[in-house]
């Protein structure tokens, strides 16, 4: 993109790049400059942040699952086949 100021229509395409810290420095400055002077884009930017926050709330929904007991018995079967003495290993290397 060239040196002109960002337009609103351009800014809306850059919100995720901005939030991810992926904008080159010049572009980053133009983004912030535009945002600080433009109510409409500020609202758009806030709406995107609301969207991200609200999507994130889906992680709170708890899904019921009856799988645990069955899986635990599979775990015990698996355990029986483990070699007698597991050598300690250094995993932090």
What value does the CA radius of gyration of the chain take, rounded to a whole number of Å? 25
Q: Does 12 interact with another protein (rule: CB under 8 A)? A: yes
Query: How far, in Å, CA of 83 to CA of 86, rounded?
Result: 6
Chain positions 53 to 92 lying near another protein, rule: CB under 8 A, are 54-59, 61-63, 65-68, 70-72, 74-76, 78-79, 82, 86, 88-89, 91-92
**How many helices and strands (H and E) does the chain possess?**
5, 0
24, 29, 33, 52: residue in contact with another protein (rule CB under 8 A): 52
The least CB distance from residue 62 to another protein, in Å, is: 6
3-state helix, strand, coil in the chain (%, to 5): 60, 0, 40
| Binding-site ranges for another protein (CB under 8 A) | 7-10, 12-13, 15-17, 20, 22, 39-41, 43-44, 46-48, 50-52, 54-59, 61-63, 65-68, 70-72, 74-76, 78-79, 82, 86, 88-89, 91-92
């Amino acid at each position: 993109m060239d040196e002109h100021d960002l337009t609103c229509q351009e800014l809306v395409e850059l919100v995720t790049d901005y939030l991810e810290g992926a904008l080159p420095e010049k572009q980053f400055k133009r983004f912030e400059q535009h945002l600080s002077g433009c109510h409409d884009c500020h609202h758009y930017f806030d709406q995107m942040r609301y969207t991200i926050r609200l999507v994130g709330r889906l992680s709170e929904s708890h899904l019921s699952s009856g799988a645990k007991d069955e899986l635990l018995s599979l775990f015990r079967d698996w355990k029986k086949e483990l070699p007698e003495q597991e050598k300690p290993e250094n995993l932090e290397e």
